[in-house]
Amino acid sequence: MKIRIRENSVRYRLTKNEVEHLCREGSIEETTNFPNLDFTYEVKVATTKYLNIDFVNNKISLQISDALLTNWDTNNRVGFSHSVVTSKGKSIDVLLEKDFTCLEDRGEDESNNYPNPKTLAL
């Protein structure tokens, strides 16, 4: 699972196995160990209509409804997006998507990524 944070946007990318795990188990979580603390990020099923996000105790928690996840592991839907209003009256854009292979080699293992639609059109 990858996360990308830029200003007020958070993007999660999941491989095939991670999407299947999320759909089957209802949650997926990873932790990055820093010298002084752990940083955790997760996606989990919750009672929400769209996507929702929160940051508590060094954990970014992205919540998604069970209805949205239904058959996501077997259909062609790329992902989900939503803007969430923050406590300061601003918004944070949230994106959860399937991770596609890159068009150019970046030296990463992408064997579990989804085929890039741009390469399928060639």
How far is the C-alpha of 7 from the C-alpha of 59, rounded, in Å?
17
Amino acid (1-letter code) at residue 85? V
The answer to whether 91 and 83 have CB atoms below 8 angstroms apart is yes
The pTM of this model reads 0.84
Q: State residue 68's pLDDT score.
A: 93
The answer to whether 17 and 1 have CB atoms below 8 angstroms apart is no
pLDDT at position 83 over 60: yes
What is the average pLDDT score of the chain? 88
State pLDDT tens for residues 44-80. 999 988 899 999 999 999 999 999 999 999 998 989 9
Which residue in this structure is represented by tokens 């259909």?
75
The structure tokens listed for 10 are: 């958070």
State pLDDT tens for residues 9-47. 999 999 999 999 999 999 999 999 999 999 999 999 999
